[in-house]
Structure 1
Amino acid sequence: MNLITSMALLPLFCGFVGIFSLFKLLQQIRMKAYLKDSVVVITGATSGLGKECAKVFHAAGAKLVLCGRNKEALDELTRDFATSCTTKIKVYKPCIVAFDLADPNAIVAAAARILQCFGHVDILINNAGISYRGAIKDTSTEVDKKVMETNYFGPVALTKALLPSMIEKKQGHIVVISSIQGKISIPFRSAYAASKHATQAFFDCLRAEMEQHGIDVTVISPGYIHTNLSLNAITADGSRYGVMDTTTAQGRSPTEVARDVLAAVAKKKKDVILSDLLPLLATYIRTLAPGLFFRLMASRARKEQKSENP
């Protein structure tokens, strides 16, 4: 391409750049408008990804309803907001609703208190969860039930409790923080992966059924995040795992993931994977070459078994 041709194409190139920049600007304005003044409920807000999501949504001008089991930790988080907020936009004092998501009897009453905070809910972020480490042959069914109660039945029950108010308004957004293990299973994570697979299936169905009511559903599947999830995981006998896995320690920053969650919610994305290349590649291998995937997982299981029993 000679110089004259290049000079002739320059205005066209600049035009494309300008249009792209304008598109990005309009997208950012639309995202901010969607989140500002929206009533956002976040479960599991006392630590990890939930706490970081609370921070970024608060900075975006949302009206927060923070949920968790520990009221003192929720109170401390709201005090931190009051002293550390530097955003120029109007921010609201969060409302606190403390309850145990694993307690079925507490959820209906908690949903009523959530609705009393600001009169309605625009966005529900089902984030609370528990992890698990153990061999299937050693794991009691009670442990399987406990993980399912927290990771699956709890979010489902809370969603169902808040759904009628959204349907009545013909507006709302249900978000669930699943996991890459909701799409692929890895050895010694059976209860956790099962709960996340069930979560993926339920909220995929919900998305289809709620479209006619104007309600959006987003499933977000992160990979490893550097939080205390593995430390607080339960084991085959129900005891606390108490170990920071290498993969967890090397995971993404929860602050970074929270920003990605904010963007996914603001853009009303339907299904989002937030992981490194290798776990993402594994989801494709599971679909396109399942035999290879199964061999890889069997090899991984053998290696992990040997490392525990040298």
Structure 2
Amino acid sequence: MNQKTIWITGASSGIGEALVNAYDSLGHKTIISARNQAALEQIKEKANNPKNIYVLPLDLNAPDSFAIKTKEAIEAFGKIDVLINNGGISQRSLAAETSLAVDRKIMEVNFFGTIGLTKELLPHFMKNKSGHFVAISSLVGKFGTPYRSAYAASKHALHGFFDSLRAEHYKDNIYVTIVCPGFIRTHVSINALTGDGTPLNQMDEAQDKGMSPEQCAKEIIKAIEKQKEEVLVGGKEKYAVYLKRFFPGIFSKILRKAKVR
């Protein structure tokens, strides 16, 4: 492949870190963003080609910084070809026990943070008449499950926004890929917010037995290369999307009884 520049948010761990390592091994340039600058620097130090990695700390809950951060990202290597919106936070709490402040925080980071950064980079893609936005959603972006009401809502919202964006900018040669991971072996459940906003600090059993971040990254990169509009990534849990679509009543009964926390 021709060398490209990929901007990855949520790059300090999990799927984001795996994507950085995969793109590094393929010889591409990456701009890596997250709040934890120290973790980003460590990833760069361990890379095969550290000169191809630019560390750009970013807080998705600080929209006032997006314009200057986007300008810095573009100037890092002169051009951006792909933005992978991977940063976000999850949830593990019942809707009735979750404060509205937590609902708002999850929506602010996962939805408004993602689309805010996307809108800042969009003129760059339009000017170049090329570009690729990747939104890391979730299987719960296709259906809601217990303990994830705000998280599911934020991911559902991403689908609506990026489906619209894809249609609006097809003429500009701008592509959109929505990725829906299932259970991936990351710290997403450990860092998930509970009803009062404190982290769960506990690994989900299903998460612990899930697909490795490295395999997930490979499938995401493959989907990007093929310019797929949407891709499901994970194990057998991804077939729940089809069960929901074709047998919604049965799906609802299973979901009510399932141990999904």
TM-score (norm 2): 0.96
Task: Identify the residue that residue 197 of structure 2 maps to in structure 1.
Answer: 238
- In 2, the alpha carbon distance for the partners of 1:222 and 1:187 equals 17
What letter corresponds to residue 157 of structure 2 in structure 1? A
Contact 1:64 1:92 in 2 (8 A): no
Where does structure 1 differ by over 3 angstroms across 4 or more consecutive aligned residues?
none
- Tell me, yes or no, if structure 1 residue 164 matches structure 2 residue 130: no
What letter corresponds to residue 130 of structure 1 in structure 2? I
- Tell me, yes or no, if structure 1 residue 66 matches structure 2 residue 24: no
Deviation at 1:202, TM superposition (A): 1.0
Task: Identify the residue that residue 20 of structure 2 maps to in structure 1.
Answer: 54
- Of all paired residues, the percent bearing the same amino acid is 38
What letter corresponds to residue 125 of structure 1 in structure 2? I
- In 1, the alpha carbon distance for the partners of 2:52 and 2:260 equals 47
Task: Identify the residue that residue 7 of structure 2 maps to in structure 1.
Answer: 41
SS in 1 for 2:56: strand
What letter corresponds to residue 163 of structure 2 in structure 1? D
- In 2, the alpha carbon distance for the partners of 1:65 and 1:273 equals 25
Task: Identify the residue that residue 42 of structure 2 maps to in structure 1.
Answer: 76
Deviation at 1:288, TM superposition (A): 1.6
Deviation at 1:249, TM superposition (A): 0.5
Bigger helix fraction: 1
Contact 1:56 1:259 in 2 (8 A): yes
Alignment of 1:178-197 (within 5 A): 178-197=137-156
Deviation at 1:268, TM superposition (A): 1.2
Distance verdict in 2 for CA 1:304–1:264, change over 3 Å? closer
Higher relative contact order (CA 8 A, sep 6+): 2
Deviation at 1:298, TM superposition (A): 2.1
- In 1, the alpha carbon distance for the partners of 2:108 and 2:133 equals 19
Task: Identify the residue that residue 169 of structure 2 maps to in structure 1.
Answer: 210
- Tell me, yes or no, if structure 1 residue 259 matches structure 2 residue 218: yes
- Tell me, yes or no, if structure 1 residue 221 matches structure 2 residue 187: no
Deviation at 1:91, TM superposition (A): 7.7
Contact 2:84 2:134 in 1 (8 A): yes
RMSD: 1.5
- Tell me, yes or no, if structure 1 residue 133 matches structure 2 residue 99: no
- In 1, the alpha carbon distance for the partners of 2:225 and 2:68 equals 29
- Tell me, yes or no, if structure 1 residue 286 matches structure 2 residue 244: yes
Distance verdict in 2 for CA 1:304–1:98, change over 3 Å? closer
Deviation at 1:59, TM superposition (A): 1.1
- In 2, the alpha carbon distance for the partners of 1:102 and 1:79 equals 27
Equivalent residue for 1:144, pick from 92, 98, 103: 103
SS in 1 for 2:52: coil
SS in 2 for 1:101: coil
Task: Identify the residue that residue 136 of structure 2 maps to in structure 1.
Answer: 177
- Tell me, yes or no, if structure 1 residue 299 matches structure 2 residue 257: yes
- In 2, the alpha carbon distance for the partners of 1:91 and 1:132 equals 34
SS in 2 for 1:68: coil
- In 1, the alpha carbon distance for the partners of 2:58 and 2:260 equals 36
Aligned residue pairs, count: 261
Contact 2:83 2:132 in 1 (8 A): yes
What letter corresponds to residue 11 of structure 2 in structure 1? A
- In 2, the alpha carbon distance for the partners of 1:299 and 1:75 equals 44
Task: Identify the residue that residue 115 of structure 1 maps to in structure 2.
Answer: 74
Deviations 1:49-104 (A, max 9, x none): 100100001111111111111111111111111xxx2xxxx884311111201111
Deviation at 1:304, TM superposition (A): 6.8
Deviation at 1:113, TM superposition (A): 1.1
Deviations 1:159-216 (A, max 9, x none): 0000001001100011111111101111111111111111111111111111111011
What letter corresponds to residue 182 of structure 2 in structure 1? G
What letter corresponds to residue 292 of structure 1 in structure 2? I
- In 2, the alpha carbon distance for the partners of 1:95 and 1:155 equals 20
Tell me, which stretches of 5 or more residues in structure 2 are unaligned?
none
- In 2, the alpha carbon distance for the partners of 1:151 and 1:275 equals 20
